[in-house]
Amino acid sequence: MVNTTTAAVAKAETVAVAPPCAMVIFGAGGDLTKRLVTPALYNLVTAKRLPDGFRLVGVDHGNRTVDDWRKTLSDMMNEFVTKGGGEFQADRIDETAWKWLTDRMTYLQGDFEDPQTYSRLKDHLAGLDKTAGTAGNHLFYLAVAERFFSVVVAALGAADMVKEENGQWRRVVVEKPFGRDLPSAKALNAAILKTLHEHQIYRMDHFLGKETVQNIMALRFANGLFEPLWNRQHIDHVQITASETVGVERRGKFYEQTGALRDMVPNHMFQLLSLTAMEPPISFDAEAVRGKKAEVIQAIRPVKYPLRDAVRGQYGAGTVLGKQALAYRSEPNVAPDSNTETYIAWKLQIDNWRWAGVPFYLRTGKYLRRRWTEVAIRFHQAPYTLFRGTHVEQMNPNWMILRIQPDEGIALQFAAKRPGPTVTLGNVSMDFAYKTYFASAPNTGYETLLYDCMIGDATLFQRADNIEAGWRAVQPIMDFWANNPAKDLATYAAGSDGPAAADALLARAGRAWRPLE
């Protein structure tokens, strides 16, 4: 028997090959290139999404030949296979596909601040356009420290490398951190918009590369069942959780300046929030979707009482997944009296017609008990009257859980009558797991995003106003914390579920966090 669902999915997966282009990676020797961009390109090769006229140009200040660069990348890929544990997961490397990719690589040594780098790159790209069939399309990927974003963009502009003529496109990809607060994000947008048009800028948030994050829109808008319930009439509150079992690892220096709020909330958590709470767009067109997402973030009520509505925590020593973990303050490159938060919980309100009065609780932190990312929607309780005089003393609410990672899926929890002569209720769950329905292709989360840059689909990227709305919403909390460094910082044991103050945030309204399952 033909499984029609699987057949439909397979058909939908026959996606066109991307147009020819030269992709230039600034920061070719860095971690992002090795760990994510190259494996994702390799996956795109095996999925036959890259055209013959694709070329990959590495640019970095390191003195290496193209063979050195290829070797570093090959070693990394092999290490992923032999050691596992990275974002790229495979049992083996397909040598033909890998050769296809490495044959298309070139390397150019140059300082990002040196205009010479850009004139040499320009000549190099002109050569590729003539001889390698890259068709004059250039994708500049900035895998560099944030301080170089505007430097590289301005230099590309000064070298006249971003003008789009004769149907040839020029695009620039930047990743977070996009600013560190509202003023710096505005300044960065203004700086790069001096050189580029908005449609040429692809501000990446890797959470949008996660299939299950993208699926929030499909779930809401492709089903007649849920959308009528998706509002304050039926929903009591929403919990959005991104709990991690990693600590700050080797990133103490970066994290000291950043903290959990900046690192996760205006970007990743707000992606989950906006997809969950946005109004239906009129199409999947980039402008339509991004407009609706911006509106919902703009509707977040400005925080007046950070002490009441936000909780910050920092991990102390403990045990995570059976391993001893150092306290944050004992991590390398962290001040022994640091007040940087590694955990945040926040109760926010969205002041619009759909959500007025429905609290959204967000929490995220490092070194928690389980790695677990989900959006949980709690519906209002049914009236009790009918059950008076039965054995049912208390009724449990309905939950809808969108599991983002790991164990991707959707669960609907409701009550059912237990078999037997008396009326008693049991909690049951209808559970959909992605892996039982859909075969998944190898995925680092960057494949769709890179492919979308090449085909010019900006739906999954942030517009300037999305970024600024995110920072605007978190700014009052950041300001309060900066001005009151240690006032309310709570410690939680590494490996726990977070600080007790975060439980109190919900308990005050008679609610509780869902367990990190």
Place of tokens 């067109």: 285
Chain center to CA of 444 = 12
324: burial class by Cβ within 10 Å (0-12, 13-18, 19+)? Answer: exposed
The contact mask relative to ligand BG6 for 159-198 (x = CB under 6 A, - = no) is -----------------x----------------------
Residue 244 lies near ligand BG6 (rule: CB under 6 A):
yes
Shortest distance, position 276 Cβ to ligand BG6, whole Å: 17
* 397 in Cβ contact with 511 (< 8 Å): no
3-class DSSP state of 402: strand
Task: Tell me how far, at minimum, the Cβ of 185 lies from ligand BG6, in Å.
Answer: 16
Residue 313 bridge partners (DSSP): 343, 490
Residue 234 a catalytic site member: no
Active-site pick, 199, 268, 380, 391: 268
Cβ at position 246, least distance to ligand BG6 in Å: 6
Which of 236, 244 has the CB closer to ligand BG6? 244
Contacts of ligand BG6 in 245-284 (CB under 6 A): 246, 263
Q: How far is the CB of 390 from ligand BG6 (least distance, A)?
A: 44
Please, which residue, 89 or 233, has the CB nearer to ligand BG6? 89
Q: Where are the beta strands (DSSP E) in 90-234?
A: 105-109, 138-142, 170-175, 201-204
Residue 341 binds to ligand BG6 (criterion: CB under 6 A): no
Distance CA 54, CA 71 (A): 20
CA distances 192 to 153, 177, 214, Å, are: 6, 15, 28
- For residues 136 and 177, which CB has a smaller minimum distance to ligand BG6 in the complex? 177
Residue 447 interacts with ligand BG6 (CB under 6 A)? no
Residues linked to residue 320 through DSSP beta bridges, in sequence order: 323
Nearer to ligand BG6, 196 or 272 (CB): 272
Q: DSSP letter at 368?
A: B
Shortest distance, position 449 Cβ to ligand BG6, whole Å: 12
Three-state secondary structure string covering 409-477: EEEEEEEEECCCCCCCEEEEEEEEEHHHHCCCCCCCCCHHHHHHHHHCCCCCCECHHHHHHHHHHHHHH
Cβ 212 vs Cβ 438: under 8 Å = no
37 or 57: whose CB is closer to ligand BG6? 37
Closest CA to 122 of 104, 140, 99: 140
> Cβ 261 to ligand BG6, closest distance in Å?
12
**Among candidate residues 297, 353, 342, 307, the one with its CA nearest the CA of residue 473:** 297
User: Which of 364, 413 has the CB closer to ligand BG6?
Assistant: 364
- How many chain residues are in contact with ligand BG6, going by CB under 6 A? 4
Q: How far is the CB of 381 from ligand BG6 (least distance, A)?
A: 32
Beta strand 360-365 with 235-243 is parallel
Nearer to ligand BG6, 242 or 401 (CB): 242
d(CA 169, CA 353): 41
Enzyme catalytic residues:
268
Q: Which residues bind ligand BG6 (CB under 6 A)?
A: 176, 244, 246, 263
